[in-house]
Amino acid sequence: MRLFLVLLFSLKFLFAFGFVNSAKPTIVPVEKAYKVTAKQEGDEAILRLQMADKVYVYKKYLKLSLNGKEVQLPLPKPMKIHGEEVYEGNLTLRIPLPKAPKVVAKLSFQGCNEAGICYPPQTRTFTFHPAIKKTATQPKSAAQPVSESQSIANTLRHKSLAVILATFFGFGLLLALTPCIFPMIPILSSLIVGAKNMNTKKAFFYSLVYVLAMSVTYTIAGVLAGLFGANLQAALQNPVVITLFALIFVALAFSMFGFYEIGLPASWQTAIAKRSDAAGSKGGLIGVAIMGFLSALIVGPCVAPPLAGALIYIGQTGDALMGGLALFAMSLGMGAPLLLVGVGAGKFMPKPGGWMEAVSKVFGVVMLGLAIWMLERILPSGVTMFLWGALFVGSAVYLRALEPISEGAHWWHYFKKSLGIILLIYGVFVLIGAFKGASTPLKPFGWQGGASQSAQPKRALFQKIDSLKELQQILATPGKPVLVDVTAKWCASCKELEENTFSDPRVQKKLAQFRALRLDMSDNSASDKEFLRHFGLYGPPAILFFDANGKEIRSLRIIGYKDPKSFLQILNQAYRSAQ
């Protein structure tokens, strides 16, 4: 009897203080608990699972089959209830459809509510026609391809680990041929040439440390970008950071000119020498690793389809391990040619002598060039043109282009003087071009096809926009199909697009059929970040296409550089799809 009274009193206490809810929980029927809708965008199916309040679905029971074949779902990170992985609220899934006239999709799921009531397993069936265009007047004979970045993200989902690593290593080798990776070559070469007692084995070890430091840094930065949706490069492109790193290159240049020597304290070098045989190597392996770290952050590649695909996969699935391994394999592929450069620099170097001082000074000039190349991102073109001209003229003076050659001099002195005169003349041309408004030292007088003459057609082709809201206002007005070029001054691949692709007369003629817009996100402003988040982009270069009704043709989205021929093919396909 006493036990009964104690239990009764305890229950009254819990009800009185709200620890137990006396109200009867609201139980919604399964038809209202789960609402599933589906629509087709190009060759993608978008499934939305909307759940009622306090209703959830188990991750392990979420299954999707296309034409009877189960596919892996791009699920976000789940939450946990009673130790089980579940999803609440709304769940949106983008599913690439196979190339077939008809695709039957079956979505199966099962879940419960927080009142402890579990619903029976559910199945919803939808039919899609990815290979048939939705307009009745102009049927389409072939399905549009999935965008490159999304296709690469699908590779991560469906392929084995060995295939993924081999594929991304190959992507890295291709990225090594882009302009983004070229600045790393003189940096690594200068580290090897500047080291003492260099041999082939030591050169390979230096190169390996440089590449591994670059790979680890780029992988970590890429994983963080995928998880948090940050722009991989823009965070380090503010003027203060760029100026700081440009000064580092200037300091390295003056060190190579012999004004001072950059190195760790003698006690540190002695300790490092015992482990890595790095005595007298201007900082040894630590300095090499630091330069690899800086190279990955500052002169690493712009966003390209392989990188974007890995970041999309990480962002959609939360699987940072698989995405990170893919990025690491890609980084190693990017660094493989650097290993060859390093070994070559160590193997074919002649015996130490006075020539090493001359080579160090050459690399000092290269370092100054890298500093100017970085400052181009934040300085007016006229200022950077003046700096390039001053660098060429200064190099000519150092080669004694203005001094007479003594009688009976060696042929090498004549060659050096000839090179100095050429640099002097070219430097003067660049200085003149700086005052005439030229923007690139490659074409200082703005000759045909140069910057000054081609700038006006490019401005006429692209209308500048500053925000997502401005784009949405334009898309709300039916008319021509719309193209949006996402670019930045610090993006090397964007410059390549500008100089090679957008300057092509065939491309310009076809672009006239579009309403061509351009978003310059050099400042990485809040509106720029909002634009990237809205479209799931990770940085420039990116080109988006919209049909005449303002709907994005997602399957034709371009990430990275395209040559004029490939870009023209995509333009033609976009124009046909937009009709």
Q: Is the pLDDT of residue 89 over 80?
A: yes
239 with 333, same domain: the answer is yes
Boundary (domain end) residue, out of 332, 353, 374? 353
Q: Please, which residues bridge with residue 482 across strands? A: 515, 546
Q: Is the pLDDT of residue 184 over 80?
A: no
Q: Hey, what are 482's tokens?
A: 């719309």
158 with 265, same domain: the answer is yes
In which domain, by residue range, is 97 found? 31-128
Burial class (CB in 10 A: 0-12, 13-18, 19+), 423: buried
Q: Look at residue 138 and tell me if it is in a domain.
A: no
Share of the chain above pLDDT 90, in %: 3
**Does residue 73 contact residue 110 with C-beta atoms inside 8 Å?**
no
The single residue listed with the structure tokens 């170097």 is 349
Q: Is the pLDDT of residue 152 over 60?
A: yes
**Region 68-73: what's the mean pLDDT?**
86
Using pLDDT thresholds of 50, 70 and 90, give the confidence band for residue 142: very low
Tell which wins on pLDDT, 555 or 55. 55
**Does residue 560 contact residue 486 with C-beta atoms inside 8 Å?**
no
Boundary (domain end) residue, out of 317, 338, 353? 353
Q: Please, which residues bridge with residue 257 across strands? A: none
Task: Please tell me the distance from the alpha carbon of residue 164 to that of residue 147, in angstroms, as a whole number.
Answer: 18
Task: Please tell me the distance from the alpha carbon of residue 347 to that of residue 534, in angstroms, as a whole number.
Answer: 51
Query: Quick one: pLDDT at residue 485?
Result: 92
Query: Quick one: pLDDT at residue 106?
Result: 92
Task: Please tell me the distance from the alpha carbon of residue 231 to that of residue 311, in angstroms, as a whole number.
Answer: 10
Q: Give the torsion sign (CA, 217, 218, 223, 224).
A: positive
**Region 431-440: what's the mean pLDDT?**
80
Q: Look at residue 54 and tell me if it is in a domain.
A: yes
Q: Look at residue 281 and tell me if it is in a domain.
A: yes
**Region 106-110: what's the mean pLDDT?**
91
Q: Look at residue 338 and tell me if it is in a domain.
A: yes
Tell which wins on pLDDT, 346 or 15. 346
Task: Please tell me the distance from the alpha carbon of residue 241 to that of residue 244, in angstroms, as a whole number.
Answer: 5
Radius of gyration of the chain (CA): 30
311-325: pLDDT as tens digits:
666 665 666 777 788
95 with 207, same domain: the answer is no
Q: Please, which residues bridge with residue 355 across strands? A: none
Task: Please tell me the distance from the alpha carbon of residue 502 to that of residue 495, in angstroms, as a whole number.
Answer: 10
**Amino acid at position 295, single letter:** S
**Region 525-534: what's the mean pLDDT?**
84
CA-nearest of 302, 121, 324, 140 to 226 is 324
Query: Quick one: pLDDT at residue 13?
Result: 46
CA-nearest of 300, 327, 298 to 313 is 327
226 with 333, same domain: the answer is yes
Boundary (domain end) residue, out of 353, 369, 390? 353
For residue 412, CA distances in Å to 131, 396, 408, 424 come to: 68, 15, 11, 18
- Is residue 306 classed as helix, strand or coil in its secondary structure? helix
Q: Is the pLDDT of residue 212 over 50?
A: yes
**Amino acid at position 350, single letter:** P
* Helix ranges, 229-319 (H): 239-256, 266-276, 284-298, 305-317
Q: Look at residue 411 and tell me if it is in a domain.
A: no
267 with 329, same domain: the answer is yes
247 with 303, same domain: the answer is yes
188 with 311, same domain: the answer is yes
For residue 123, CA distances in Å to 40, 116, 337 come to: 19, 21, 52
**Given phi > 0 = left and psi -120 to 50 = alpha, else beta, which region is 8?**
alpha
**Region 131-154: what's the mean pLDDT?**
50
Q: Hey, what are 474's tokens?
A: 């334009």
78 with 190, same domain: the answer is no
Residues 6+ positions from 356 with CB-CB distance below 8 Å: 193
**Region 47-53: what's the mean pLDDT?**
88
558 with 478, same domain: the answer is yes
175 with 36, same domain: the answer is no
**Does residue 323 contact residue 312 with C-beta atoms inside 8 Å?**
no
Most confidently modeled of 291-300, 431-440, 507-516? 507-516
Helix, strand and coil in the chain, % to nearest 5:
55, 15, 30
Task: Please tell me the distance from the alpha carbon of residue 357 to that of residue 251, in angstroms, as a whole number.
Answer: 17
DSSP characters for 492-506? HHHHHIIIIITT-HH
118 with 164, same domain: the answer is no
Q: Look at residue 178 and tell me if it is in a domain.
A: yes
CATH code assigned at 474:
3.40.30.10
Helix orientation angle between 411-436 and 381-398, rounded to the nearest 10 degrees: 160
Residues 6+ positions from 55 with CB-CB distance below 8 Å: 28, 33, 34, 88, 111, 112, 113, 114
Task: Please tell me the distance from the alpha carbon of residue 331 to that of residue 241, in angstroms, as a whole number.
Answer: 23
Type and span of the H or E element at 465? strand 463-465
Using pLDDT thresholds of 50, 70 and 90, give the confidence band for residue 297: low
295 with 212, same domain: the answer is yes
N residues, the chain: 579
Task: Please tell me the distance from the alpha carbon of residue 551 to that of residue 481, in angstroms, as a whole number.
Answer: 9
Query: Quick one: pLDDT at residue 544?
Result: 92
Q: Look at residue 423 and tell me if it is in a domain.
A: no
For residue 558, CA distances in Å to 202, 239, 266, 305, 515 come to: 42, 28, 52, 8, 17
Task: Please tell me the distance from the alpha carbon of residue 504 to that of residue 497, in angstroms, as a whole number.
Answer: 10
CATH code assigned at 47:
2.60.40.1250
**Does residue 316 contact residue 336 with C-beta atoms inside 8 Å?**
no
Count of structural domains within the chain: 3
Q: Which pairing describes strands 515-520 and 463-465: parallel, antiparallel, or unpaired? A: parallel
Query: Quick one: pLDDT at residue 484?
Result: 92
Q: Is the pLDDT of residue 267 over 80?
A: no
Q: Look at residue 121 and tell me if it is in a domain.
A: yes
